[in-house]
């Protein structure tokens, strides 16, 4: 079974960036399987959300339309601070 690094690379080649997972388990973590062959998701470690948030790059809205969309999402989600694109 291929490792997480292979899954990450293959996903980037096949999927758009907006649907890629924001967190991947550490590569040293084996994907345990349940007796029925499904992945045991409860055995995976919790993602380090602080590290993930710190690694995100802010991309400012490029034009007035993107600015308006960012404001709409900010209001809808009740988010604070600058809202970027991506």
**pTM for this predicted structure:** 0.39
Q: For the segment 45-63, what is each residue's pLDDT rounded down to a tens digit?
A: 777 778 777 777 778 889 9
Mean per-residue pLDDT, 10-23 = 82
User: Which pLDDT band holds residue 29 (cuts at 50, 70, 90)?
Assistant: low
Highest mean pLDDT among 14-28, 41-55, 66-80: 66-80
**Secondary structure of the chain in HEC code, one letter for each residue:** CCCHHHHHHHHHHHCCHHHCCCCCCCCCCCCCECCCCCECHHHCCCCCHHHHHHHCCCCCCCCHHHHHHHHHHHHHHCCCCCCCCC
């Amino acid at each position: 079974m291929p490792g997480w690094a292979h899954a990450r690379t293959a996903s980037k080649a096949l999927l758009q960036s907006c649907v890629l997972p924001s967190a991947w388990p550490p590569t040293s973590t084996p994907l345990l399987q349940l007796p029925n062959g499904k992945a045991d998701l409860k055995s995976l470690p919790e993602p380090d959300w602080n590290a993930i948030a710190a690694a995100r790059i802010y991309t400012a809205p490029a034009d007035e339309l993107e600015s308006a969309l960012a404001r709409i999402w900010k209001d809808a989600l009740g988010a604070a601070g600058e809202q970027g694109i991506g």
